Amino acid sequence: MRAVLVDPQRSTIAVETVQDPVPGPGQLLVRVRAAGLNRADLAVRAGGYRVGTGRSVAAPSRPLRAGAELAGEVVAVGPGVADFAVGDAVMAQGSGYAELATVEALLAMPKPSALSWEEAGALPVGLLTMHDALVTNGRWRPGETVLVNAVTSGVGVLCAQLALHLGAPLVLGTSTSPTKWEALRGAAGLDDERFVPVTPHDVAAQARVRTDDRGIDVIIDNVGAAAIATSLEAAAILGRIVQVGRLGGKHGTLDLDELARKRVSLIGVTFRTRTTEERLTVKRAAWGDLADAVAAGVLRPPVHATFPLEQAEAAQEALARNEHVGKLVLTP
């Protein structure tokens, strides 16, 4: 089969012919129909994606299969699989830059007919990440307000959709580009008066004005260093800032006195240090809450563009330019 291999030591990717994978115990072999691109893909390629569940961490050093999510058809099942059969349409986290991929059956989700292959292939990472960030770690509760930094990113759009679906009375979303805001108008669920796009410069002021000076309860930060100060300024007393992405840098400065005064919780989340059991807990929580909304098409990522597998490098270059709204997708 053809697969994209990434070499972190050289910061390169290439389409190569490799041996077909074989599903092990508890695994599915999936013929990939679509695979979403994610910022972590760029970090893996650059050798800066440090992994490990113990005290020590390291960047991967060998060529490895690229990608983090996919959708496709089950073509074989490993020993012990009971929930899926050959021919089932599924979506899951996994190395999707390939014609075939193995995924853990327990972590797979059935692909709803309401979603295209491209939408399904671009959904798993954002759906699981944002439910875990907003509901589990952010401890969002009915009646609480939400701020999504970098709302036009793939995970950002899904977070705004999710917060509105759950009933948040106000969802602020930041972007530096009014053009991107316009592109969001066609995204599922965002034509709602509760959703308010704002600039990063104006977000703290808008948070105060729109909450009667109370501030925002849960802030999902997909930006990092460039947004940490304004996120803290926009936060309510007892607010939660959940740090997801670092598009704006890894190292920032925040006012620890303000953090203490507001009693704000600053929480970091990632999948790379989670065990399979922890990933299963995340998947069960998200799918239990959101399966019906996904099936109804309420939660669906806008797909900005698709690329054939042979153009994986061009797709990653487009991802790095950050000119898109929503997701970029490979179609093997």
Secondary structure, 3-state, 19-33: CCCCCCCCEEEEEEE
Select from 213, 186, 187, 208 the least CA-distant residue to 198: 208
Q: pLDDT, tens digit, for every residue of 292-316? A: 999 999 999 999 999 999 999 999 9
Residues 6+ apart with CB under 8 A from 240: 137, 138, 139, 217, 218, 219, 264, 265, 267
The pLDDT, as a whole number, for residue 50 is 56
The pLDDT, as a whole number, for residue 1 is 95
CA atoms within 13 A on the CB side of 113: 0
CATH, domain range 2-34+57-122+322-331: 3.90.180.10
Residue 273, burial from CB neighbour count under 10 angstroms (0-12, 13-18, 19+):
middle
Please tell me the distance from the alpha carbon of residue 246 to that of residue 91, in angstroms, as a whole number. Answer: 26
C-alpha to C-alpha distances, 46 to 18, 153, 246, nearest whole angstrom: 22, 20, 15
Grouping H, G, I as helix, E, B as strand and the rest as coil, residue 136 is: helix
207: pLDDT strictly greater than 70: yes
Q: Token pair of 172, please?
A: 């602020």
Please tell me the distance from the alpha carbon of residue 80 to that of residue 303, in angstroms, as a whole number. Answer: 35
Please tell me the distance from the alpha carbon of residue 298 to that of residue 37, in angstroms, as a whole number. Answer: 21
Over residues 12-26, the mean pLDDT reads: 95
Q: What is the DSSP string of 251-300?
A: -----HHHHHHHT-EEEE--STT--HHHHHHHHHHHHHHHHHHHHTTSS-
Please tell me the CATH superfamily of domain 126-268, with its number. Answer: Medium-chain alcohol dehydrogenases, catalytic domain (3.90.180.10)
Select from 62, 72, 68 the least CA-distant residue to 1: 72
pTM of the shown model: 0.93
Give the pairing type, strands 69-77 and 89-93. antiparallel
Q: What is the percentage of the chain residues whose pLDDT exceeds 90?
A: 78
Q: Token pair of 233, please?
A: 């300024």
Common-topology check for domains 2-34+57-122+322-331 and 126-268: yes
The pLDDT, as a whole number, for residue 284 is 97
Residue 213, burial from CB neighbour count under 10 angstroms (0-12, 13-18, 19+):
exposed
Quick one: CA dihedral 127, 132, 138, 142, positive or negative? Answer: positive
- The answer to whether residues 163 and 171 touch, using CB atoms and an 8 Å cutoff, is yes
Q: Which of 228-237, 257-266, 293-302 has the lowest mean pLDDT?
A: 293-302
Q: Where are the domains of the chain?
A: 2-34+57-122+322-331, 126-268
Could you identify the residue written with the tokens 């991802």? 319
The pLDDT, as a whole number, for residue 11 is 81
The pLDDT, as a whole number, for residue 60 is 53
- The answer to whether residues 74 and 86 touch, using CB atoms and an 8 Å cutoff, is yes
Over residues 127-151, the mean pLDDT reads: 97
Q: How confident is the model at residue 59 (pLDDT cuts 50, 70, 90)?
A: low
Question: Which run of H or E residues covers position 315?
Answer: helix 312-321
Q: pLDDT, tens digit, for every residue of 120-131? A: 999 999 999 999
Q: Who has greater pLDDT, 186 or 114?
A: 114
The pLDDT, as a whole number, for residue 77 is 98
Q: pLDDT, tens digit, for every residue of 174-201? A: 998 888 877 777 677 788 899 999 999 9
- Max Cα distance, the chain (Å): 60
57: pLDDT strictly greater than 60: no
The pLDDT, as a whole number, for residue 63 is 67
Over residues 39-53, the mean pLDDT reads: 74
The pLDDT, as a whole number, for residue 62 is 60
